[in-house]
Amino acid sequence: MPDRTGIISAKGNPLTLSGSGEVKVGDTAPDVVVSKSPTEDVKLSDFRGKKVILNSAPSVDTSVCSNQMARFNEEALKLGDDVVVLSVTMDLPPALARWCEANKAEAIKAFSDYKHRDFGDKFGLRVKELGLLARTVHILDAQGVVKYQQIVPDIPTEPDYDDVLKALKELA
């Protein structure tokens, strides 16, 4: 798949999305492999049967990404058992574990795309210039079909949480 431009930027500077795929609303999400720890991998299909809020961010070591993960953790506490919130970054698993512990983030599941680069590749959300993931939110139904997609146009901006939560409620 060719690189995509004109979709995201960083403070007005255009960035390029790359990867072998491009996921759209209505598609079945690709069964990507992400890392929970350096020795433990997880597949997206492991969460079939639940609605999934799948959010990606560049790195938890930035304030915007940290805020994003914290907000989704806060929202996850309010959601039922039929919804799981997954966060994917390029951070190493120990960094994600430290962030979760420091922020008491026990309601979300944080994963890394560092080893396989499967999420960024198959979703077409790898930022070529940064080597990181774009800031996005997808909602998958219990069968793994993408029902909502938000690609945040300016990377230093948080997602529209209200829009995400509205879409999740409409999925019920």
CB atoms within 10 A of CB 138: 23
- pLDDT of 39-71, one tens digit each? 999 999 999 999 999 999 999 999 999 999 999
Distance, CA of 18 to CA of 1 (rounded, Å): 8
Whether the pLDDT of residue 1 is over 90: the answer is no
pLDDT of 11-46, one tens digit each?
Answer: 999 999 999 999 999 999 999 999 999 999 999 999
pTM score, two decimals?
Answer: 0.96
- Tell me the three state secondary structure of residue 103: coil
Side-chain-side CA neighbours of residue 117 (13 Å): 10
Q: Which of 17, 32, 52, 65 is catalytic?
A: 65
Say whether pLDDT at 172 is over 90. Answer: no
| 65: annotated active-site residue | yes
Q: What are the structural domains, with CATH classification, of the chain? A: 15-171 (3.40.30.10)
Q: Indicate the length of the chain as a whole number.
A: 172
Q: What is the mean pLDDT of residues 123-143?
A: 97
166: CB partners within 8 A, 6+ apart: none
